Structure 1
Amino acid sequence: MASIDYYLGTISPYVYLAGTRLEEIAEKHGATVTYKPLDLLQLFDRTGGIRPAERHPSRNEYRAQELPRWAEYLDMPFNQKPAHWPVNMAPSSYAIIAAQQAGGGDLGGLVHGFAKAVWADERDISDDAVIRDLLGAHGFDPDLADKGLFVGAETYGRNLEEAVEAGAFGAPFYVVRDSGQRFWGQDRLDFLDRHLATL
């Protein structure tokens, strides 16, 4: 059984566009997924990337064309300028970490739910009420929003270190532990699918 480490930032538009295709692919191949939310902006800083606000205008102009193009292709609602972006990723990330540890709900759905809240639903995923609502909607105890904050913070920081060590530099980023193969971006999920078929 293959094991996939999924490095993600909850405010990433590309994590949103990935939808739940990773979960479908993993189920198809009997693979397991470990979700590793992290501070995506610090990952850029650590690996030679540039934060969106600091990128050359030509890069941001292209991004402004590419994101709605992908959303239309994938038939997903998309708000080019969400009301709550960027926001602090830590609270939603802690909730994912706590939910993964607790088990029992739809973790992939929760991850997608946070990203969708930003890019389609105009919700502030740093708000406790929103976090609690999304936890409950995906089969988790809403009180996880208040539990394990120390462990969440510790794991959140460790995920960043592990991402750098694993060669990740953006999100979504998928690392197949069994082979060491790395896949960056929601547009590489078909390649991940093909790779898992060879294991």
Structure 2
Amino acid sequence: MARTVEYWFSTASPWAWLGSARFAQLAERTQTVVQVEPVDLGAVFAATGGTPFPSRSPARQSYRQLELARWSRRLGVPIRLQPAHYPVDREPSSRLVLAAREHGVDALALSQAVLRAIWSEDRDIADWVTLQDIARDAGLDGAALIESARDPRMHARYVQNTQAAIAAGVFGSPTYVVDGERFWGQDRLDFLEERLGGGP
């Protein structure tokens, strides 16, 4: 039976972007089912003691940027350290990913496309027209997904997802959970692969 990983993440997380392709490759390599779970990271932070990036001290902000640049070089994943549309409202893009799950299409690939849009392509992931284009570019029915995403039910699901993340002990993005065991951060993917039986 295939293993399942719960993938808790923010659609505007630079760390999720840096790990996105490697995580997808890991899941394919280990034949793991990914349960894509976008969350409201602001609400997660508020419940778990985290601090949103704009509210952090200058020392913490500058070090975060330094680390992003280091990991970008190490991984060969391009990243715009100061994207044009950041901070950004994550709810529209999160609802789009939830709609993809409901439609039974590749929500993981769509999540990658959304992360790429903000961190590599300087696109506004809070704009519904842009999101429709992102979905279409990913080979999906953008119009149908946007229609579902704008349904109030998706707001309720987004809130429920966020509460479920908090209940699961999630406090940052990305967090990968296997059978209740948490792996926080794209720099823990090696440990995740070991847990799934695909590592050394």
- TM-score bin (small chain): over 0.9
**Residues 132 and 145 of structure 1 are in contact (CA less than 8 Å); yes or no, is this contact kept in structure 2?**
yes
Whichever residue aligns with residue 189 of structure 1, its letter is: L
DSSP-derived class of the 1:82 partner = coil
**Residues 107 and 138 of structure 1 are in contact (CA less than 8 Å); yes or no, is this contact kept in structure 2?**
no
Counterpart of 2:100?
A: 99
- Superposed, which structure 2 residues align to 1:69-84 within 5 Å? 69-84=70-85
Residue 111 of structure 1 pairs with residue 111 of structure 2 = yes
* Separation in 2, partners of 1:20, 1:152: 26
Counterpart of 1:171?
A: 173
**Residues 98 and 107 of structure 2 are in contact (CA less than 8 Å); yes or no, is this contact kept in structure 1?**
no
Counterpart of 2:16?
A: 15
1:98-132, CA deviations, whole angstroms, 9 ceiling, x for partnerless residues? 0111123x322211111111111110011112100
* Separation in 2, partners of 1:151, 1:26: 29
RMSD: 1.3
- Superposed, which structure 2 residues align to 1:158-197 within 5 Å? 158-177=160-179, 180-197=180-197
Residue 129 of structure 1 pairs with residue 129 of structure 2 = yes
* Separation in 2, partners of 1:30, 1:97: 22
Whichever residue aligns with residue 154 of structure 1, its letter is: A
Residue 139 of structure 1 pairs with residue 143 of structure 2 = no
Residue 24 of structure 1 pairs with residue 25 of structure 2 = yes
Gap runs ≥5 in structure 1: none
Q: What TM-score do the two structures reach when normalised by structure 1?
A: 0.93
DSSP-derived class of the 2:148 partner = coil
Counterpart of 1:155?
A: 157
**Residues 18 and 186 of structure 1 are in contact (CA less than 8 Å); yes or no, is this contact kept in structure 2?**
yes
Q: What TM-score do the two structures reach when normalised by structure 2?
A: 0.93
* Separation in 2, partners of 1:151, 1:53: 30
Quick check: 153-162 or 137-146, which moved more? 137-146
- Equivalent pairs counted in the alignment come to 195
Counterpart of 2:58?
A: 57
DSSP-derived class of the 1:182 partner = strand
Q: Structure 1 residue 25: deviation in Å?
A: 1.4
Residue 68 of structure 1 pairs with residue 56 of structure 2 = no
Gap runs ≥5 in structure 2: none
* Separation in 1, partners of 2:4, 2:114: 23
DSSP-derived class of the 1:147 partner = helix
* Separation in 2, partners of 1:145, 1:152: 11
Q: Structure 1 residue 31: deviation in Å?
A: 1.4
* Separation in 2, partners of 1:28, 1:78: 25
**Residues 77 and 120 of structure 1 are in contact (CA less than 8 Å); yes or no, is this contact kept in structure 2?**
yes
Whichever residue aligns with residue 111 of structure 1, its letter is: S
